């Protein structure tokens, strides 16, 4: 269910977000050349070198049991690539595309959460600044960068929620940060079970009459060749940034997750809540 109690801005995220809106908006208007699979030979070489170095680093650091890997193709090529690169089989790896406003934090150990990214692939500027404010330590390791993130267990969204979709992904809250022209929404998700199908997140903004006045989509897309590999682990925390144009009046948010591979053959198949609903509706702004 949903809690209507308006708490303080979430620890870390809320306070930092207000100061980062300008940076985030500028970032959002730029088109990253690394948004899709690299098609430049030099970039591809560096990408391969970075992943190879990450594999060696993970093999050498046997106490590191879970890590989140930033890359361009989390749902297709990243997992199989590390299956080939890694010698050990006891490390849980999660993958995400940072150019999509996504941050995935794996299960923490005594040192917190571990995030690895190619040196040529920056994290979303919004989340990069938040990680720094949270006390994360960034260390260059040649072709890749290791970010050690303090445990985010104290992290509390401004609006709490509890909706489990498909028995796999749980929405446990969100933040709403209203600016002059834009509204930044942060949704908080926890992986309860490894997804068994592609998962695409949608968020729709509804006006008082129920009309859709804004929408946003993230995560997996349908691959032309039908490739897809499960790329999150139970216990992962997924923080997703959404940006909408500010709208007057009271709004609601309609959220859901669907399998994009089902959309070509008919209506997209949504993951349902525990009560069988195909989506979630929660208060928006103001």
Q: Residue 254: which H helix or E strand, with range?
A: strand 252-259
Residues 17-70 have pLDDT tens digits of: 544 444 433 333 333 333 344 455 555 566 789 999 999 999 999 999 999 999
Q: Is a pLDDT exceeding 80 seen at residue 117?
A: yes
Q: pLDDT value at position 37?
A: 43
Does the domain at 159-283 match CATH 2.60.40.1660? Answer given as no
Q: Is 218 helix (H, G, I), strand (E, B) or coil?
A: strand
Q: Which residues contact 10 (CB under 8 A, 6 or more apart)?
A: 155, 156, 157, 158, 173, 175, 186
User: How many CB atoms lie under 10 A from the CB of residue 107?
Assistant: 18
Distance CA 274, CA 178 (A): 31
Q: Tokens for 99?
A: 């150019």
Q: Does residue 31 or residue 199 have the better pLDDT?
A: 199
Question: Mind listing the pLDDT tens digit for each residue in 118-151?
Answer: 999 999 999 999 999 999 999 999 999 999 999 9
DSSP-derived 3-state class of residue 260: helix
The pLDDT value recorded for residue 121 is 95
Average pLDDT across the chain, whole number: 87
**Two tokens at 144?**
């890749």
* Alpha-carbon span 217 to 112, nearest angstrom: 29
pLDDT reported for residue 47: 74
pLDDT over 70, % of the chain: 84
Region 225-241: mean pLDDT is 96
The 3-class SS string of 106-160 reads CCCECCEEEEEEECCCCCCHHHHHHHHHCCCEEEEECCEEEEEECCCCCCCCCEE
Predicted pLDDT at 265: 82
111 pLDDT tier (thresholds 50, 70, 90) = confident
What are the percentages of helix, strand and coil residues in the chain, rounded to 5?
20, 35, 45
Please report the pLDDT score of residue 43 as a whole number.
Answer: 52
Measured CA angle at 107 (ends 198, 124), to 5 deg = 65
Q: What is the mean pLDDT of residues 87-92?
A: 95
Dihedral sign of CA atoms 202, 100, 260, 236 in order: negative
Whole-prediction pTM value?
0.86
Return the domain boundaries, the chain. 13-149, 159-283
Q: Once rounded to an integer, what is the mean pLDDT over residues 241-266? A: 94
User: What's the rounded Cα separation, in Å, for the pair 37 and 225?
Assistant: 14
76-93 average pLDDT score: 94
In sequence order, what are the residues at sequence separation of 6 or more whose Cβ sits closer than 8 angstroms to the Cβ of residue 248? none
Residue 286, preceding peptide bond in cis (omega within 30° of 0): yes
Is residue 180 within 8 A of residue 231, CB to CB? The reply is: no
Average the pLDDT over 74-86 and give the result. 92
- Confidence class of residue 1 from pLDDT cuts 50, 70 and 90? low
């Amino acid at each position: 269910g949903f809690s209507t109690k308006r708490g303080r801005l979430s620890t870390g995220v809320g306070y930092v977000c207000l100061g980062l809106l300008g940076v985030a908006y500028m970032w959002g208007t730029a088109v990253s050349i690394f948004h899709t699979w690299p098609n430049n030979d030099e970039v591809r070489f560096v990408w391969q070198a970075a992943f190879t170095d990450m594999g060696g680093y993970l093999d050498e650091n046997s106490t590191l049991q879970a890590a989140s890997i930033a890359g361009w193709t989390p749902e297709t090529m990243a997992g199989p690539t590390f299956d080939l690169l890694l010698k050990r089989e006891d490390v849980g790896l999660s993958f995400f595309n940072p150019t999509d406003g996504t941050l995935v934090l794996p299960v923490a150990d005594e040192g917190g959460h571990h995030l690895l990214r190619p040196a040529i692939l920056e994290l979303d500027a919004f989340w990069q600044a938040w990680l720094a404010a949270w006390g994360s330590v960034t260390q260059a390791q040649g072709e890749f960068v290791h970010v050690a993130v303090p445990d985010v267990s104290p992290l509390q969204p401004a609006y709490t929620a509890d909706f489990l979709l498909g028995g796999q992904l749980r929405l446990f809250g969100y933040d709403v940060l209203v600016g002059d022209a834009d509204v930044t929404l942060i949704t908080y998700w926890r992986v309860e079970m490894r997804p068994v199908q592609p998962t695409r997140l949608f968020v729709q903004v509804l006006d008082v009459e129920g009309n859709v006045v804004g929408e946003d989509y993230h995560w997996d897309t349908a691959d032309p060749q039908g490739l897809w590999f499960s790329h999150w682990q139970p216990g992962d925390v997924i923080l997703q940034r959404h940006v909408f144009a500010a709208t007057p009046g009271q709004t609601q948010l309609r959220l859901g997750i669907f399998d994009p591979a089902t959309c070509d053959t008919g209506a997209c198949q949504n993951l349902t809540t525990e009560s069988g609903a195909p989506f979630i509706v929660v208060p928006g702004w103001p």
